[in-house]
Amino acid sequence: MDLDLEGKVAVVTGAGKGIGMAVTRALADEGAHVVAGSRTTDRLDGLKGVTPVAVDLAALDGPAQLIMRAPRSMVRSTSWSTSTAA
């Protein structure tokens, strides 16, 4: 299946196991560069097309840390925003 993802950047959370890992592999196999967030990254290390990011998304700055790891050379003019619930 060709999803036309070559050169695109995808951000996946919960990427270290289960459905998150399956999504990460599928997107990378389709040519996307995947920024893969997980509390631990040992299962993500060495996957082609994947930038593993150890992150706790429950932390106040967690989501921003994950997004900021997207390779700058691959990100076009994009506006980033994060919000937290009080």
Domain contains 81: no
C-alpha–C-alpha distance, residues 59 and 65, integer Å: 10
pLDDT above 70: residue 41:
yes
Report residue 11: phi and psi, to 5°: -115, 125
In this structure, how many other beta carbons lie within 10 angstroms of the beta carbon of residue 44? 24
Give me the number of domains the chain comprises: 1
| pTM assigned to the model | 0.77
pLDDT above 60: residue 74:
no
Domain contains 80: no
**Residue 78: CB partners within 8 Å, gap ≥ 6?**
none
Reduced to 3 states, what is the DSSP secondary structure of residue 29?
A: helix
Domain contains 16: yes
pLDDT average, residue stretch 38-50: 94
Domain contains 83: no
The Cα-based distances of 59 to 35, 66, 83 in angstroms read 18, 11, 12
**Position 86 confidence tier, pLDDT thresholds 50, 70, 90:** very low
Domain contains 40: yes
| Pair of tokens at residue 38 | 């997980």
What's the pLDDT at 75? 54
Determine the structural domain holding residue 46 and report its residue range. 9-72
Domain contains 1: no
What's the pLDDT at 4? 82
